[in-house]
Amino acid sequence: MDEFSKLNIETDTTISLIKEGLELGVDIWITHPAKLTLNKNVASVKASRIENETLKINVEKEFTINNFDFFFIRQDPPFDMNYLTNIYLLEVHNKFNLKPFFINEPSGIKNFTEKIFPLYFMQLMPDTIITSDTKVLQKMLNKHKSVVVKPLYFKGGEGIIKLLKDQLNYKEKFESMIKKFKTPLVVQKFLEKVNFGDKRVLLIDGKPFGVLNRIPKSGEFKANLHLGGRAAKTSLTGRENNICKHLEPFLKINKLFFVGIDLIDEKLTEINVTSPTGMTQINQLYSVNLSKVFWRKLLKKI
């Protein structure tokens, strides 16, 4: 996971999972990707045990990770070479060892990065392309009048912009993003109904167990809560439930135990497989304990 200093202790899903695990008597240790070593085909980490719910940690010790039943990969993007290298090392360990059970499996994280993953289900999405070609962007704008442009490997709305056909400098803005992020970009039809909300659905072992609606501030189109979006109760429509059912077998085959999907106007826009968030807000909105549901489902794996 990332260091505590980078997290909002009150709202972060990782913290919610840690505290509930402690409540259930789970022995929890934390580590950082920089503390991972691969020796032949066995991974080891320098890790610290969490003493109690105040998040006090004990002295760091070194273990091979097959000493653990479960191994959470809860590092936030950017999904850069450091992130990918960490996944490669864990993937080698997973190939040659029976333990631990990964949340999520390294191969699944590597193969299905969140903004590319939805393209496996194009029929469920708004019109979307990935390109670095301004002429292709122009064709999309001619077709839809407005689009959202997203960097591939970041999180939390970072770098996302809206471009309009009648915007004089749209090519310059697009080229500036290409230069900044050094990869092709997602170009997606802008969904006007985002002003009614961007739903985050948490899937545990393939099934939806919680949903919240993130409503953007007036005049904004990004609904991320840390950018000022408002969390509200909601429910899944019949079409949205069908989207979840459509994804379930694929998630299970690829051992993606904990996934967050984003839905706007009953269309799939993102599948988060790295460190899905929203659990704390769902717990608060509905007076439930989704963290306990999560652990009950996970503990059945052993």
| Domain limits, CATH 3.40.50.20, in the chain | 4-105
Q: How high is the pLDDT of residue 269? A: 96
| Domain limits, CATH 3.30.1490.20, in the chain | 127-190
Average pLDDT of the residues in 162-168: 92
Per-residue pLDDT reduced to its tens digit, 242-264: 999 999 999 999 999 999 999 99
In this model, does residue 227 exceed pLDDT 90? Answer: no
Q: How high is the pLDDT of residue 94? A: 98
Per-residue pLDDT reduced to its tens digit, 267-282: 999 999 999 999 999 9
The DSSP line for the chain is ---GGGS-TTT-HHHHHHHHHHHTT---EE--GGGEEEETTEEEEEEEEB-STT--B---EEEEGGG-SEEE--PPPP--HHHHHHHHHHHHHHHH----EEES-HHHHHH--TTTGGGGGGGGS-SEEEE--HHHHHHHHHHHSEEEEEESS--TTTT-EEEETT-TTHHHHHHHHHHHH-S-EEEEE--GGGGG-EEEEEEETTEEEEEEEEEPPTT-----GGGT-EEE-----HHHHHHHHHHHHHHHHTT--EEEEEEETTEEEEEE-SS---HHHHHHHHT--HHHHHHHHHHTT-
Q: How high is the pLDDT of residue 229? A: 85
CATH annotation of 4-105? 3.40.50.20
In this model, does residue 207 exceed pLDDT 80? Answer: yes
CATH annotation of 193-293? 3.30.470.20
**What's the whole-number average pLDDT of the chain?**
95
What is 127-190's CATH superfamily? Answer: ATP-grasp fold, A domain (3.30.1490.20)
| Domain limits, CATH 3.30.470.20, in the chain | 193-293
Average pLDDT of the residues in 203-225: 91
Q: How high is the pLDDT of residue 219? A: 81
Q: What is the pTM of this model?
A: 0.94
